[in-house]
Amino acid sequence: QKEVEQNSGPLSVPEGAIASLNCTYSDRGSQSFFWYRQYSGKSPELIMFIYSNGDKEDGRFTAQLNKASQYVSLLIRDSQPSDSATYLCAAFSGSRLTFGEGTQLTVNP
């Protein structure tokens, strides 16, 4: 079982729609969770982090954490073509950050 699992996609949504990206993790001791956006050929860029159960909103992005169910999600409202990228979920446990393999999102104009 992978430590951090994501649906590889591709996930395709129309412009203006809500994109929902999901992630599950296996280590119940995971303390903090991160979402990174990675454009093709570029390095990952941090877009959200969340430490506590519930929702955290930042602009068009909302991160949701449910520790009991061991899942993290990222919602992107009013999706734009510029949001087309691979989204990496990461969970911190022990002394390191473990990344999922990413979900490829395509936003169609």
Question: Could you list the residues that contact other proteins (CB under 8 A)?
Answer: 4, 31-32, 34, 36, 42-46, 49, 51, 88, 90, 92, 95-102
Task: Using the structure block, give the residue that is written with the tokens 């979402």.
Answer: 35
Q: What one-character-per-residue DSSP string does 54-102 give?
A: EEEEETTEEEEEETTTTEEEEEESS--GGG-EEEEEEEEETTEEEE---
Q: What residues does 74 pair with on adjacent strands?
A: 21, 63
Q: How far is the CB of 71 from other proteins (least distance, A)?
A: 17
Q: How far is the CB of 31 from other proteins (least distance, A)?
A: 5
Please identify, using beta-carbon distances, which residue of 1 and 95 lies nearer to other proteins: 95
* Cα gap 86→41, rounded to integer Å: 11
Please identify, using beta-carbon distances, which residue of 8 and 66 lies nearer to other proteins: 8
Q: How far is the CB of 15 from other proteins (least distance, A)?
A: 26
Please identify, using beta-carbon distances, which residue of 15 and 101 lies nearer to other proteins: 101
